Amino acid sequence: MSLLIRCGTLSACLACLGATAFAQGGPRTLSATREGPSDLRAVDLQIDQMIRSRDLRLSDTPQDGLLPSRRHERLDQYHRGVRIVGGDLTRQTAPDGTVSVFGVLHPAVGLNTEAALSPDAARSAIGRAVDGQATGDLPELVVLPLSDGYHLAYRGQAITGIELVNVFVDANTGALLQQFSEFQTDGIVGKGTGTFGDDKKISVKAVSGTFVADDGLRPAAITTYDMKGNLTRTLQVLNRLTNVTAADIAADADNVWTDPGVVDAHVYAGWYYDFLFKRFGRHGLDDRNLRIAILTHPVRLADLPTASPEVVGMYYDNAFFCGTCGPDGRGAITLGEGVPRGYFGSFEVKNFAAALDVVAHELTHGVTANSARLNGFPYSEAGALNEAFSDMIGLATTFSYEPLGNAVLQANYTVGKDLIVPIGAGGFRSISNPGLFGDPNHYTQRIVGFDPHYNSTIASHAFYLAIEGGTNRTSGQTVQGVGAANRDQIEKAFFRALTVLMPSGATFALTRAATIQAAKDLYGTGSSAERAITQAWDAVGVQTRTAATVALNPNPASGLSALCGGVRPSWSMGITFSAGDANLRVINWRGDYYDGDGRQLTPDGGDGANFAASFGSCGPRSDRILAQTDACAAICVNLEGATRGSTQFSFSAVDDSGRTITLTTPRVTLLAPR
Amino acid sequence: MTRFLAGASIVLAASTAGAQPVRWTDRGYVIVDGAARITSASFAGVARPVTFVEPAEVETSYRVRQAPAVDVAAGVRVWRNLAVGADISFFTRGTTAAVDAKVPHPFVFGRPRSVSGAASGLDHTETTVNIQARWVMPPTRTRRWQIDLFGGPSLFVVGQDVVRDVTIAETYPYDTATFASATLDHRSRTHAGFHVGTDVTRLVARRVALGVSVSASHARVDLTTADGGSVSLNAGGVQVGLALRFVIPRKVPAARPPIRRRP
């Protein structure tokens, strides 16, 4: 990167920035605070120099609703005038100087930024790459860091069937490099409820003799649309192929609103706006009163029997936020219609507007999209954190409005509790006891490259422990929480971290640092909030990631009767290889298998090329794992017909200094199929 | 109540003291009183205007202070010292009110904002038509002095500006508000009551007398506001005034012309 070239020598830069700052090869997390080991002053000077050289460019200056005297800058990293995806940092400044810097920077891109494809040609390539239709916006030329190195890419969007997809294509060849859905969903198959007969006040406007669900009392426009079950139109609106009209806004003739889906959606969105303002001093999703758009009734219940599973999963049994959808392309949430009893069995999923925490969860994605921008790509931990913060703030909203309890319209730590009928039978996730829903409560249980909702509970459980205290079920470590009466301290610290401290490529470890810094900012060093948050992250096993690790999940694994390599039974598992602070190149790997009596079966494995062919679940297949990134694979294990046994995997890799490291997963028990 | 009954009893005692009461011979009277209402009245009311789809609670304490009143009475003697007449009394006063309101929150049920303030200049009017029996007692044969004792049913027409709502100053997030003004309704009601009193006058000219009057009147009047709230007030009160009496003298029969005989 040009900054480092101007520094003179790389080693000189490393010396001035500290070992955790800008090191050669791959992205580096930057976590510098006044109390931290990094030389904050030196980092500060380097940032200023990068700004002058336009390698860092200001993208936002968010207001600090909690500490008005603090200034915040959000800076995007550029390489020869081209933005590096995921390269950005936040800098917090007090009147007496810089307080903290958090970021992910790419120190040695070394990439030619002359693109062979024109933006128009790239747009066509984007559509072709995903077998969809590119949106009208011209794609952006970016530097895309993947595990096999940096790519000059065009980033654009395309509509594919029922989704809006972010697509990266090679700027020279048009080949697909990466894609991910723009819809950030809370797609949990569960049970639900509808409206509970509770009276609510709904802030609307009177227009031409009728009343429309357009909030006229809050500073931000909050508009609830009734798509009247027209999926085609819903898709057109989401994908900005057509504009919403006044006729799309939910309306009522006598201002006595009887559509519970509209009422709950509109009211809860207003309450969420109020919660942000009262708790955090924030003015809406972007802190500038960005309008909030909510789409209700995207489909008809009557159409459910003929709906495809994809449509059911997206528009009936789901809610999602789309950051570029809706009017003016600045985001909208869509609330699924729910699923009646009988479709999934004995339970019913209510309209997704019925749960305050779910509406607040989706809207928090809007906050994230306008602050930390944790988009889930290319760092999958960021995706999990995105979901985690939505759960945290979503549940925090319910605690602000609802009495404690496990019944409907009461607050507890289960996400989506109110959507499932019979009530009390379920929910989507528990942040107090993630294991209740099979989610991880400890960093060692994460599955990289897996559903971000799954991994999210590592962070949200830390949030819970910091408030309520308790003992982590995996580590056994006990946390002294601040207590429910002081929950606002933890909420504010985490929210502050999300909105002004965390970069888009945040990892769990960086989030730990940012939330601790936020607690220090708000409550002082040594405060109970800082102590609780530190203990909570310790308890869930999130530390600064330095050493490489490998993990094999789940443990134990339950057998399936499915074939695997032509053999029954089988075990479906995930392997994660996480680099620490050094780049790694895998040179060989090996799988060992044991039957129920402990006899070793035929091992398998291969060299680096074989590894690259197998480990492609978290990104492009490569034998290289850049520092702070992961490689992962979904595998199917068989024991040559044995119905139980165990397995473990070993890896050998070489780091940048030529040192060979060997890592072995724990030996995982494979249970007999049931 | 006690006060005017005591006054009445004094007058009664005076009238019965003379074993041979002097006969009142006038045909009737017209009395104009310039009086002062010497009692103040306090009353309260509650209004529950619907605000943000939830009833507010506006409690108002009214106070009607002392003020001038005007009385015009007229009557005719119907038997011995007894006259029957009518009296019209008019009283008006700007009232003040202390307002305490709980104004609903625009976004949530059950979280009212408390505001307090004062309203002044609220109109209060009482127009009373008194049907009056008046016992007139000249204490001396010169009839220069005259003591009247009167009483009877009354018809009160009461008008009152009542607070039916408040306007508040509020800004997002609307968790607090400040009182800006009271919204008034003018309500009026007609209600029966009674009155009693006494005049003491002295002739200052052949047909004009001056004196003082003390009277009391009372009626309980319930006013309802547009939203079903109510204000109960005690109309009337004790008033003291200067009485100007115009005497309508007895008709003296014209002298009969002499009977002329035919020669």
Residue of A nearest to B170 (CA): A217
What is the Cβ-side half-sphere exposure of residue A486, based on CA atoms within 13 angstroms? 20
pLDDT(A110) > 90: no
- Give dist(CA A514, CA A494) in Å, integer: 8
User: Residue A519: pLDDT band by 50, 70, 90 thresholds?
Assistant: very high
- Which residue's structure tokens are 């708000």? A522
Q: Which pLDDT tens digit goes with each residue over A64-107?
A: 878 888 888 889 999 989 998 888 889 999 988 888 888 888 87
- Across A14-32, average pLDDT: 50
**Which of B52, B53, B172 minimises the CB distance to A218?**
B172
pLDDT above 60 (res B85) = yes
Identify the weakest region by mean pLDDT among A210-214, A435-439, A466-470, B187-191.
A210-214
| Element spanning A394, H or E | helix A380-401
Does position B16 have pLDDT exceeding 70, yes or no? no
Q: Which residues in chain B have Cβ-Cβ distances shorter than 8 Å to A267?
A: 107
Q: Do A199 and B172 touch (CB under 8 A)?
A: no
Reference B197, options B24, B11, B38; nearest CA is: B11
A136 pLDDT above the threshold of 80: no
A166, A156, A254, A162: which is closest to A202 by C-alpha? Answer: A254
* B53 inside 8 A of chain A by CB: yes
With a cut of 50, say whether residue A10 has pLDDT above it.
no
pLDDT tens digits, A599-623: 999 999 899 999 988 887 665 578 8
Across the interface, do A277 and B174 touch by the CB < 8 Å criterion?
A: no
Q: Flag the least confident range among A9-18, B146-155, B211-220, B239-248.
A: A9-18
Best mutation target among A201, A266, A268, A283 (most B Cβ atoms within 10 Å) is: A201
Does residue A328 surpass a pLDDT of 80? Answer: no
Q: What is the mean pLDDT of chain A?
A: 85
Please give the residue that has the higher pLDDT: either A162 or A639.
A639
Tell me the pLDDT band of A478, cut-offs 50, 70 and 90.
very high
Q: What is the pLDDT of residues A162-174, one digit of tens each?
A: 566 788 899 999 9
% of chain A beyond a pLDDT of 90? 48
- Whether A199 and chain B come into contact, CB under 8 Å, resolves to yes
User: Regarding beta strands A140-146 and A82-94, do their DSSP bridges make them parallel or antiparallel, or are they unpaired?
Assistant: parallel
Which of A632 and A126 is assigned the larger pLDDT?
A126
What's the whole-number mean pLDDT along residues A234-240? Answer: 87
Contact B87, B130 (CB under 8 A): yes
- HSE (CB half, 13 Å, CA atoms) of A443? 22
DSSP string of A590-624, one letter each residue: EEEEEETT--B---EEEEHHHHHHH--TTSS--SE
Give the 3-state secondary structure percentages of chain A, helix then strand then coil, rounded to 5: 30, 30, 40
Average the pLDDT over B74-90 and give the result. 93
A277 inside 8 A of chain B by CB: yes
Q: Is the pLDDT of residue A108 over 90?
A: no
| Beta carbons of A217 and B54 less than 8 Å apart | no
Show residues of chain A in contact with B107, CB under 8 Å: 201, 203, 217, 267, 270-271, 274
Q: Which of A85-89, A175-179, B101-105 is least confident?
A: A175-179
Instruction: Give the distance, in angstroms, between the CA of residue A236 and the centroid of all CA atoms in the same chain.
Output: 26
Q: Measured between alpha carbons, how far is B169 from B177 in angstroms, rounded to an integer?
A: 6
Distance CA A494, CA A412 (A): 19
| Interface contact flag, B54 A274, Cβ < 8 Å | no
Out of A199, A219, A274, whose CB is closest to B107?
A274
Chain A contact for B107, CB < 8 A? Answer: yes
How does DSSP classify residue A303? G
**Is there a contact between A203 and B106 if contact means CB atoms under 8 Å apart?**
yes
Strand ranges inside A171-318, DSSP E:
176-181, 183-185, 205-207, 210-212, 222-226, 251-252, 292-296
Taking contacts as CB-CB distances below 8 angstroms, the residues of chain A near B172 are 217-219, 277
Q: Looking at chain A, which residue has its C-alpha nearest residue B106?
A: A201
Residue B259 pLDDT = 67
Residues of A in contact with B53 (CB under 8 A): 201
Contact A631, A610 (CB under 8 A): no
Q: Do A201 and B173 lie within an 8 Å CB cutoff?
A: no
pLDDT tens digits along B181-205:
888 888 899 999 999 999 999 999 9
**Residue A208 Cα, gap to closest chain B Cα (Å):** 20
In angstroms, rounded to a whole number, what is the distance separating the alpha carbons of residues A672 and A560? Answer: 8
Look at A132-141, A340-349, B216-225 and tell me which has the smallest mean pLDDT: A132-141
Helix (H, G, I), strand (E, B) or coil at B101: strand
Cβ contact (<8 Å) for B107 and A271?
A: yes
Q: How many C-beta atoms surround the C-beta of residue B232 within 10 A?
A: 12
pLDDT of B51: 86
Chain B contact set for A277 (CB, 8 A): 172-173
**Residue B55 touches chain A, beta carbons under 8 Å:** no
Q: Does residue A18 have a pLDDT over 60? A: no
What does the pLDDT read at residue A21?
33
DSSP character string of A494-508: HHHIIIII--TT--H
Distance between B158 CA and the closest CA of chain A, angstroms? 38
H/E segment holding residue A124: helix A119-129
Residues of A in contact with B175 (CB under 8 A): 278
Q: Is the Cβ pair B107, A199 closer than 8 Å? A: no
ipTM of the complex: 0.71
Confidence check: pLDDT of B8 > 50: no
Q: Cα(A358)–Cα(A335) distance, rounded to whole angstroms?
A: 9
For A201, the closest of B106, B173, B175 (CB atoms) is B106
Task: For chain B, say whether A210 makes contact (Cβ under 8 Å).
Answer: no
- Cβ proximity of B167 and B93 under 8 Å: no
A282 φ, ψ (degrees, to nearest 5): -95, 140
Tokens representing residue A67 in the block = 């500490």
Angle between helices A487-496 and A508-523 (to 10 degrees): 120
In chain A, % of residues over pLDDT 70: 90
A200: chain B residues, CB-CB within 8 Å: 109
Judge whether B52 is closer than 8 Å to chain A, CB to CB.
yes
pLDDT at site A495: 98
Least confident of A28-37, A282-291, A574-583: A28-37
What is the chain B residue with the closest CA to A267? B107
The yes-or-no verdict on residue A226 having pLDDT over 70 is yes
Considering only the beta carbons, identify the residue of A199, A218, A274 that sits closest to B109: A199
Residues in chain A with CB shorter than 8 Å from the CB of B173 are 274, 277-278
Residue B184's pLDDT is: 85
- pLDDT exceeding 90 applies to what percent of chain B? 45
3-state secondary structure of B84: strand
pLDDT of A37 over the 70 cut: no
DSSP A404: B
Asked if residues A316 and A307 have their Cβ atoms less than 8 Å apart, the reply is yes
Average pLDDT over residues A287-292: 92
According to the model, what pLDDT value does residue B5 have? Answer: 36
Residue B236, sorted as left (phi over 0), alpha (psi -120 to 50) or beta, turns out to be: left
pLDDT digits 0-9 by tens, A364-379: 999 999 998 886 554 4
Q: With contacts defined as CB-CB under 8 Å, which chain B residues touch A274? A: 107, 173
Residues on chain A touching B106 (C-beta within 8 angstroms): 201, 203, 217
- Give the pLDDT score at B19: 53
B30 three-state secondary structure: strand
**A205 interface with B at CB cutoff 8 Å:** no
Residue-level pLDDT at A361: 97
Q: With cut-offs at 50, 70 and 90, classify the pLDDT of residue A5.
A: very low
Tokens standing for A201? 């006040």
- Whether A329 has a pLDDT exceeding 60, the answer reads yes
Interface test with A, best of B53, B103, B107, B168 (most A CBs within 10 A): B107
Closest residue on chain A to B105 (Cα): A201
